[in-house]
Chains A and B, each alone.
Chain A
Amino acid sequence: MEFLYASEVLVNGLMAGVMYALVALGFVLIYKASGVFNYAQGVMALFAAMTLVGIMEGRVPFAHLINAMFGVHVSHFGWTVPAIFGIALTALIMVGLAIAVEKLVLKHLVGQEPIILFMATIGLAWFLEGLGDVMWGADVKVLDVGLPQGISDGIEAATNDWLGYGFFIDKLDIWATVIAAALVAALVGFSQYTKQGRAMRAVADDHQAALSVGISLRFIWIMVWSIAGFVALVAGIMWGTKSGVQFSLSLIALKALPVLMLGGFTSIPGAIVGGLIIGMGEKLFEYFIGPMVGGATENWFAYVLALLFLVFRPQGLFGERIIERV
């Protein structure tokens, strides 16, 4: 029975890892194409989820500000929008955000040190955090795009018949796994088989060389930030469905950091494998060792595991090896 319990923990850890990987993917995309560690990725997920709820519920953006300035009481337009259109509209807004980021921030920082670009994304995170609250309010929002939640009865019954113990698998986690797999396949396909994808890889390899063959760096940046915005939207939907759309959603970025350290900042498969290892590792550690040390080991263990990998492989499992000759 103990083995079955541990197996259940392992499977659930892998599923949790997929949720972490969804967040990590956004970081990887931007880092790979522009060498920028986008501190705002978590806040982008929050902003995207807030915008999606706002659109779906027909909320008036900046209602609070409008009410305070003009002494009126507006909150909703009085209509609702189906999830699929809401997602499409939010994706468009994330493209708009990518264009704004490129035009207002990145364009002015071309050629600057990576740390300057990193600092700019910290500023962007603060800005987006405030903008989201002012636009849509700081209340906890319910996000329902039709994804099922709760124990999968089929899996529970099947494992019970087969093994004598019904496994718990959350239906939302199954959906997250399917969506993450589709997303990764689409991203890999895009970067391997499309002109823009190849251009993105060229920029990732060498900015100067890519520019010299006529690739527009600015277009690539807008494209990459748009894709990262879409990935943030997907992560926001998954995490927002799980526990409501609220500020804490932006903190899921903290869960992605050990995944990136382990998988490497430049590898899409690395983000997935890293997520799986972290998810599985932290859950098994909590199961076997947690009770002996008072529990709540997951956050701590994820970073320890990532640090251990760093000692032996500083570039992460799938990261590019950096060789600098003096």
Chain B
Amino acid sequence: MKLKLATALTALLVAGPAMADLVVPNLSYRTGPYGANGTQYADGFNDYFTLLNERDGGIGGEKIQTPECETAYNTEKGVECYEATKGNGALVYNPLSTGITYQLIPKVSADKIPLYTPGYGRTSAKNGKVFEWVFNAPANYWDGASVAIKYLLDQNGGDLKGKKIALVYHNSAYGKEPIRTLQELSKKHGFTLSELPIDPPGQEQKSQWLQIRRDKPDYVVMWGWGVMNQTAIQEAANIRFPMENFIGIWWAGSEVDVMPVGDAANGYKSLTFNGVGTDYPVYDDMKKFVIEPGKASQGGQFVGSALYSRGMYAAVVIAEAIKKAQELAGSSAITAPQLRDGFEALDITPERLTEIGLPDFGPEIKMSCDNHGGSGMARLQQWDAGAKKWSLITEFTEPDQDVLNPLIAEDSEAYAKEAGITPRC
């Protein structure tokens, strides 16, 4: 009996995913200070691939495996997860952490495995000439900063001269990403920018909000994650800062960020590049093939939430890239370099999104050899505390490419010089 048990256990340990399957490791975090956020994203990511497996038999007849590895949003653990899973035929990584992304960029470049970082990671990775293996469509942090400022311009009749905007940010690689862009935009549009860093995790922000109370900025823009978001929204409510003048990046725009604050969070706004809720045709199939048969990740308790939807959207883009790669390669069993070709030829049109069952869920994603970041379009959503749901309040808006393109070129070229990369395309 013991021998049988040991044999079964050994078989389980060494088997891993079947080599014929398409392997998309899910570097998730369900524990630690950001576990509440990471769990929902990971569930959405898993469930879409489960749907493809159950409904379509996978992609092109190949089943998809999504082995999970817990990173706890810790950079060292994230790198360990990458090293532990890359040998199993991993096709692409999506670690949901800017810190982990920065560490993985040189590794995936050496190993020739695509790294897909939608809405996070290194912004200048949009330049595919330098970052051959990294993709960050549909939008990056600089796009987010620009779309937020464009929205404020719209709100102020196209003029932000003399206005004061405060940036409250997570004092980390992630939180610092938009500073450069906002500084450029403040020069261009004549608003005053004040920068208020908050040490992670961010439960204590009294000093920063007292400063906001004294300085009376017209708007506050936030780059936060985890408990920092709830605390900031609560502190804003405490000092009676008008919620409609408070805009978070998409990582500060989920239900977990506003629910703990209750009614006081009503009117808070955030950027987003994906739809929210279950009012999309894809959920008919999701219900039939995944949720009702009990195959949903973690029981499906977060289906339709902002972060679940974003995780699902990442899976949609990866699945479409795999499909495109299979077409290009003429084979269903693709390799990681072939998937890079699939990403570079990807064109998810509004019509295709409708076919998938997600009409108007995200902006069109069209990538190429030199453009790994898509259009950069994002929109705004606003929290309705009474109905406990997000409402979309703008259409997808393009960022100010005149400001962003030179910044991306400058940053990516500096990286190319430092890493000894010869630009391609």
Contacts and interface: CB of A to CB of B under 8 A. Distances in A.
B32 interface: yes
B234 A242 contact: yes
Nearest to B256: A140
Interface string B1-34: 0000000000000000000000000000011110
B203 interface: yes
A71 B196 CA distance: 48
A313 B418 CA distance: 48
Contact of B210 (A9, A243, A249): A9
B259 A142 contact: yes
Interface stretch (B85-93, B133-141, B237-245): B237-245
B36 interface: yes
A138 B33 CA distance: 10
A243 to B, nearest CB: 4
A325 B198 CA distance: 46
B31 A12 contact: no
Contact of B199 (A139, A248, A252, A296): A296
B199 A140 contact: no
Contacts of B75: none
Interface string B217-238: 0000000001100110010011
A242 B30 CA distance: 23
A154 interface: no
Given A151-B240, A168-B210, A296-B197, A251 B203 contact: yes
Given A140-B230, A142-B259, A142-B262, A283 B206 contact: yes
A18 to B, nearest CB: 12
B interface: dominant SS: helix
B213 interface: yes
B195 interface: yes
A227 B317 CA distance: 53
A158 B264 CA distance: 24
Contacts, number: 113
Contacts of B239: 151, 168
Contacts of A248: 33, 201-203, 226-227
A320 B401 CA distance: 64
B231 A138 contact: no
The DSSP consensus for interface residues of chain A is helix
Nearest to B237: A150
B299 A243 contact: no
B12 to A, nearest CB: 18
Given A73-B299, A170-B238, A296-B199, A150 B264 contact: yes
Contacts of A133: 31, 35
A67 B299 contact: yes
A239 interface: yes
B171 interface: yes
Interface in B177-217: 195-199, 201-204, 206-208, 210-211, 213-214
A244 interface: yes
Contacts of B199: 296, 298-300
Interface stretch (A31-39, A111-119, A183-191, A286-294): A286-294
B298 interface: yes
B260 interface: yes
A77 interface: no
Interface string B31-44: 11101100100000
A139 B299 contact: no
B294 interface: yes
Contacts of A138: 30-31, 35-36, 39
A207 interface: no
A130 B39 CA distance: 15
B260 A244 contact: yes
Interface residues on A, range: 35 or more
Interface string B84-102: 0000000000000000000
A298 B259 contact: no
Contacts of B197: 294-296
A80 interface: no
Contacts of A175: none
B214 A5 contact: yes
Given A242-B234, A243-B227, A248-B201, A286 B207 contact: yes
A45 to B, nearest CB: 12
Contacts of B298: 64
A106 to B, nearest CB: 27
A255 interface: yes
Nearest to B30: A138
B262 to A, nearest CB: 7
Given A242-B231, A252-B203, A8 B36 contact: no
Given A133-B31, A295-B195, A140 B299 contact: no
A37 to B, nearest CB: 22
Contacts of A12: 206-207, 210
Given A64-B299, A242-B231, A300-B199, 17 more contacts: A12-B206, A12-B210, A71-B294, A75-B301, A138-B35, A139-B256, A140-B260, A142-B259, A142-B262, A168-B210, A168-B239, A170-B238, A243-B227, A243-B231, A248-B202, A248-B226, A295-B195
Ranked nearest first, the 5 interchain pairs of A and B with the lowest CB-CB distance are A244-B260, A296-B197, A248-B227, A243-B231, A286-B207
17 contacts: A12-B207, A64-B298, A68-B299, A133-B35, A138-B36, A142-B262, A151-B240, A244-B256, A247-B33, A247-B36, A248-B201, A248-B202, A248-B226, A251-B201, A283-B206, A295-B195, A298-B207
